[in-house]
Amino acid sequence: MVVELVSVGTELLLGNIVNTNTQYLAEKCALLGLSMYHQVTVGDNRERLSQVLKTALDRSDVVILTGGLGPTEDDLTKEVCAEVMGSSLEEDDHTRDLITEYFKNSIYKEIPDNNWKQALVPQGAKVLENHNGTAPGLILEKDGKTAILLPGPPGELKPLFEEQVFPYLQERQPEVIRSQMIKLCGQGESQVEDKLLDLINGQSNPTIATYAKTAEVHLRITAKASNEEEAKELLKPVVKEIKNRFGNDVFTTKEEETIEMAVVRLLKKHELTVTTAESCTGGLISGRIVNVSGASEVFREGFVTYSNKAKRKRLNVNKSTLKQYGAVSKQTAKEMALGGVFATGADVCIAVTGIAGPISEGEKPVGLVYIACYLKDKVKVEEYHFKGNREKIREQSVVKALDLLRRSILSNYNT
């Protein structure tokens, strides 16, 4: 089954809003095993939207449109879809009631007249309840073609898709599609693909797809079968082989688990507490850790010691170390990790110091970062030379710090 994405909104064309919906929907459609050959963005123009929709319906089985379902005059998606698919608009009483209830529980005293436009739906359409806004989702079917209309705000689109559209599309698939995610840290996408070329070239079912993330590589293994059990059996040997090849580079096989979740899980498992000592990352590492539910069980304290004075005062880094080797050095990173543990009594401390740029420090280049991890009276220090702008260097530092923490726990506690 072929699916096409159409994003509606002049603000998208002008770059005022980043189109995260397309990325999200593309990944979900791939998970369903749907084929996708086109993604289109069109402005709030009736004629152009009509032409885009006609073309999309001509070459695809399902067209998913996002945006343009609001109450204002330039919100045209529903009206154009109804016109193209030969359907008239009629008021849906249930949607009207939901709009009334939505405003009743909001800070607004009155319902603007233009909001009642959102209660008009194409005749015969399947109406999808939107529990996070006033614009319902819609599914229109005609002559074997389907148009799915979703609101533009991600906070409305995602839950609506997960709860109602995903199951709808899943039922229309003739085969069962099952995917398994494997997430790695420690190797680049090209390195990972090179080690998997024999599997990638030698198999058509399951298929293996690689995705490059910041300092991570994600693998999606997808199998098609006539039933769920058969799909699982097809996945098992491939997943096992990949895990054997990459060992501790694999930090999770769960779709929803992030590297910080994997770290917190390991800390809990071994009843360890952690402290962070950060310079160039400015608290990003501790922020990632405390984003995880249950982090309070393992997270002791976080230090942001951006200046040399703070490093001396908070982490007891020697003045002579800073003078001789500099703030960005293996020696300073090591003393930061030691100082973090002694200051808080935590079992583990992860410390980071580096040059995020854009200006280098003497002979030390932008992107030079030292990461240290204290655990069991040992301090392991890694040197990195990251590429990219300031934001990218800091992001890579955070992931590598979490990964060093993860690997240190594994090497000390896993047999």
CATH 3.40.980.10 location in the chain: 2-172
Class of domain 176-252: alpha beta
Residue 71 clears pLDDT 70, i.e. is over it: yes
CATH 3.90.950.20 location in the chain: 259-413
Predicted confidence at residue 354, as pLDDT, reads 98
> By mean pLDDT, which of 130-134, 256-260, 334-338 is the weakest?
130-134
Predicted confidence at residue 280, as pLDDT, reads 98
Contact indicator for 32, 1 with CB cutoff of 8 Å: no
pLDDT tens track for 288-331: 999 999 999 999 999 999 999 999 999 999 999 999 999 999 99
In this prediction, residue 203 has a pLDDT band, given cuts at 50, 70 and 90, of: confident
In this prediction, residue 415 has a pLDDT band, given cuts at 50, 70 and 90, of: low
| CB within 8 Å of 60: residues ≥ 6 apart | 2, 3, 4, 37, 38, 145
CATH 3.30.70.2860 location in the chain: 176-252
Residue 342 clears pLDDT 60, i.e. is over it: yes
Contact indicator for 314, 301 with CB cutoff of 8 Å: no
**pTM here?**
0.78
Predicted confidence at residue 314, as pLDDT, reads 97
Mean pLDDT of 160-189: 91
Q: Is the domain defined by 259-413 classed in CATH 3.60.15.10?
A: no
Question: What fold is seen in the domain 2-172?
Answer: Molybdenum Cofactor Biosythetic Enzyme; Chain A (3.40.980)
In this prediction, residue 379 has a pLDDT band, given cuts at 50, 70 and 90, of: very high
